[in-house]
Structure 1
Amino acid sequence: MTIINLPALKAETEALLARFAAEPAGPELDPYQALLLDREELPDPELAGVCDPNTRPKDLTIGGRLQARIYHPATDEPRPVLLWLHGGGFIGGDLRDIECATSGIAAAGNVIVVSLNYRLAPEHPYPAGLHDVRDTLDWIRDHQAELNGDGRIAVGGQSAGAALAAGACLLARDEGRPLPDRQILCYPSLDVDRDTESYRLFDGTFLSIAPGGWSSAQYFPVGEFPATAIPLRAETLKGLPPALILAAGRDPLRDDARNYAARLEADDVPVRLVEYADTMHAFLNFPAVLSAGRHAIELIASDLREAFQAPV
């Protein structure tokens, strides 16, 4: 494991958490009403940053129903395609929230990024979002010429999106479908109702994963959870694509990242684990104020350049 311990990480995290804590409380609403309002809120560019001007964003609809945004790097040469999945606890989030990250990865990584708005619970519980990822990977393979792709595909995401990326890799392996060439999992949510050290230390630091939460009940199936919903409980991780995993040191999900990396390594899957010390969950959503987010964009881009042997 590599620890990134930049001098500003702790102070930036504390300042952002204090900013959120000082915001006035909104009206008391039932969870679903609050969710609908949250889905309408646009990201603040002072926190989320802006789209990289060196990319060419284009909106499209995949399969006649899924909204996506494509970011092309400056080159006209065919390049690998990265499917990226936003976070949001399987119930929220939007591709607009992470445009600085997705466009930055495209520009610096010299890859084509497809940022997807998959279906969300409670309207569409598991496995709807997972099937959207599976179907979009198929769509990317079938539209390489249209995308200017070169045939190589990676999949990645943040938090719940990382869980969908990991689950899609498991699903492809178990169904005998083509596997992505690489997976990138940023502060992934890979289990449920867990009692880990990071949960005990950091639950409630921007994110709560306490058992019995409303959002989890909206997404996860009743009864026994399949491994494609909670990848840490997969019987084996053998045969999965090589992985880059990013963790936040001050995150209740930190140990999901650590434990999945250890499982992959034990099952002979090449894996690189990088942890940002003293940094909160969702740091890629706030690269304008968290240097961890900016560093991670460059790190992911560098990893993809190396994996796909792209020029700097």
Structure 2
Amino acid sequence: MTIVDNPQFGPETDALLKRLADLPANPDLDPYQALLLDREDLPDPAIAGEPDPRVATEDISVDLPGRTLQARVYRHSIRPRPILLWLHGGGFVGGDLRDIEYATSRIAADGNVTVVSVNYRLAPEDPCPAGLQDVYDTLGWLREHLHGDGRIAIGGQSAGGALAAGACLLARDAGTPLPERQILCYPVLDLDPSADWHEWYFGTREIPAGAVPLQAASLKGLPPTLMLAAGRDWLRADAVAYTARLEQDGVPTELIEYADTMHAFLNFPAALSAGRHAVELIAADLRATFG
């Protein structure tokens, strides 16, 4: 494990948590109404940052059997480049590709890759395994329909990290082409019945293979992995445990922990220098991966 620390991380995190706690709440809304309103909110550039002006963006439709997903493509070059499929967080019930455009656009520019950020289906309207199947099917769709150079990586944040890890497990088990690298940022990798999203996402239905990566019987054959964790994150244990299992099963894995910062720090790069550093680190990792 490599620890990234900076004296600014703690005070910046404290200030952001206070700012978020001071936001007005509407206690009259039921949880589902509150969720719908939250999905409509655009991120505040003062904390989420702005898209990188060096990249060109294009909104596309990913046409899959029985459904169409919306995605945004970030290109820094007109030449065919490796493709990075990226999945936003949001506890499997919220989040949007617009929440993370600082990260996706800057990774495209500095990582020398084409980034595809996709809005997968969300619970409770589409519970598990809908989102997982979306991500797995999108991997195949990208190979056939997007003009890349044939190389693909996958990554995501929180719930998106879980879906990225799960899609790699499905691809391995199905014998379909695997991404060449997975980048998992503070992912949700185990069951947590106390979590707010658990009932909406899993309910009482049978949990399919890949939906809970830490419970997979084996992690052999998965792509080389970059794992990011946060020191002040209840999901830190998932990242540490999954890293240990990947290494045990012979998967080259690097774990980077950002000390004294919070879950979802990549969503707030304008407020958290840890988020900016992590975006630069991911871009550098992709440059090293693909050359």
Give the equivalent residue in structure 2 for 1:201.
none
* Amino acid of the structure 2 residue aligned with 1:180: P
Looking at structure 1, the residues matched to 204 and 181 of structure 2 have their Cα atoms a distance apart, in angstroms, of: 31
| Aligned with residue 75 of structure 2, among 72, 76, 81 | 72
Give SS of 2:281's match: helix
User: Is 1:31–1:214's contact at 8 Å kept on the other side of the alignment?
Assistant: no
Residues 118-157 of structure 1: CA deviation (Å, up to 9, x unaligned) = 000000001110111111111110024xx3x100000000
User: Aligned AA for 1:174?
Assistant: D
Report 1:81-92 matches (<5 A). Answer: 81-92=83-94
Q: 1:164 and 1:221 mapped to 2: Cα distance?
A: 17
**Cα deviation, residue 23, structure 1:** 2.0
Alignment counterpart, residue 270 of structure 2, candidates 280, 284, 288: 288
1:20 aligns with: 20
- How far did residue 223 of structure 1 move? 5.3
Q: String of CA shifts for 1:232-255, please: whole Å, max 9, x gaps.
A: 011010000000000000000011
Deviations 1:165-217 (A, max 9, x none): 00000000011111111100000000012xxxxxxxxxxxxxxxxx3444211
Paired AA for residue 30 in structure 2: D
Does 1:57 pair with 2:57? yes
Compared CA separation, residues 192 and 266, structure 1 to 2 (3 A): same
Cα displacement (A) at 1:65: 1.3
- How far residue 221 of structure 1 moved from its aligned partner, in angstroms, is 4.9
Which residue of structure 2 lines up, in the alignment, with residue 231 of structure 1?
213
> How far, CA to CA, are the matches of 1:134 and 1:229 in structure 2?
12
SS of the equivalent of 1:3 reads strand
Q: Structure 2 counterpart of 1:176, which letter?
A: G
Amino acid at match of 1:242: P
Instruction: Give the CA deviation at 1:28.
Output: 2.4
Structure 1's unaligned 5+ residue stretches are 194-210
> Could you tell me which amino acid in structure 1 is paired with residue 122 of structure 2?
L
Residue identity opposite 1:271 in structure 2? T
Q: Are 1:248 and 1:278, in contact at CA under 8 Å, matched by a contact in 2?
A: yes
- Output the CA distance in 1 between the equivalents of 2:264 and 2:59: 24
8 Å CA contact retained: 2:85, 2:115: yes
Long gaps (5+) in structure 2: none
1:185-224 alignment runs, 5 A limit: 185-193=184-192, 211-222=193-204, 224=206
- Moved runs in structure 1, 4+ residues, more than 6 A? none
Shift of 1:224: 5.0
* Alignment correspondent of 1:30: 30
1:172 corresponding residue in structure 2: 171
Q: Deviation string for 1:248-283 (max 9, x for gaps)?
A: 000000111111111100000000100000010000
Cα distance in 1 for partners of 2:85, 2:25 equals 36
- Which residue does the alignment assign to 2:106? 104
Q: Contact 2:111 / 2:286 at 8 angstroms: preserved in 1?
A: yes
CA RMSD of aligned residues (A): 1.1
Instruction: Kindly indicate whether the alpha-carbon contact (under 8 Å) linking 2:129 and 2:208 is maintained by their aligned counterparts in 1.
Output: no
In the alignment, the residues of structure 2 paired with residue 214 and residue 240 of structure 1 have an alpha-carbon distance, to the nearest angstrom, of 30
Give the C-alpha shift of residue 77 in structure 1. Answer: 2.4
Q: Is structure 2 residue 250 aligned with structure 1 residue 268?
A: yes
Match of residue 131, structure 2, among 129, 132, 141: 129
Give the Cα–Cα distance (whole angstroms) in 2 for the partners of residues 25 and 81 of structure 1.
39
Question: Cα gap change, 1:255/1:214 in structure 2, threshold over 3 Å: closer, same or farther?
Answer: closer
Quick one: which amino acid aligns to residue 238 of structure 1? Answer: K
Q: TM-score, normalised by structure 1?
A: 0.90
Q: TM-score, normalised by structure 2?
A: 0.96
After superposition, the Cα gap between the structure-2 partners of 1:157 and 1:216, relative to the gap in structure 1 and judged at 3 Å, is same
